[in-house]
Structure 1
């Protein structure tokens, strides 16, 4: 599997202090919590994982094109918008 980082994702990782190793681990082994099968140009998903050192949750949005994973954006989920497990959006 080849993992490609979009410029936007790299900028967000830098701004938010999120390590590349954590993102790679989430893309490879994270829990997919939302799927977006009709998004263009490639189907994508939202995956949940945790920082290795601090155990803080991280969400990674990535697209799939064959054996490529294209990281679109990366962020720490907002506690006001997600449940306590950070795997379901909170209804408002």
Structure 2
């Protein structure tokens, strides 16, 4: 699945914030509009097709002047579940926040 496919599923069916993600978003001061923005304007940086119950995608939303955001989505052709969201740690990610440091 490509990011355009995820956006289409989101447009057709919306998204569901799972309990863990809702709690983490509150703790990390991440707003719902930021999640929507990541889906609509972010990019897939990792895909795990073997995850259950559906494949998972790590989305990066990085804009000039804004803190980068990672959002993990569980997606199939009818569902976009927000699994979690966080601000990536610069010590664990490269300067683009696309690649994990070893």
**TM-score w.r.t. length of structure 1:** 0.90
Displacement of 1:24 in angstroms is: 1.0
Which protein is richer in helix relative to its size? 2
Secondary structure at 1:14 match in 2: helix
Which 4+ stretches in 1 moved above 4 angstroms?
none
Which protein is richer in strand relative to its size? 1
Q: Is 1:84 the counterpart of 2:71 in the alignment? A: no
Structure 1 gaps, min length 5: none
TM alignment of 1:1-92, pairs within 5 A:
1=10, 2-50=14-62, 55-91=66-102
Structure 2 gaps, min length 5: 1-9
Displacement of 1:7 in angstroms is: 0.8
Structure 1 residues 50 and 18: CA distance shift in structure 2, 3 A: farther
The alignment yields a C-alpha RMSD, in angstroms, of 1.6
- 8 Å contact 1:47–1:61 — kept in the other structure? yes
Paired with 1:9 and 1:81, the residues of 2 have a C-alpha distance of 21
Count how many residue pairs are aligned between Structure 1 and Structure 2.
90
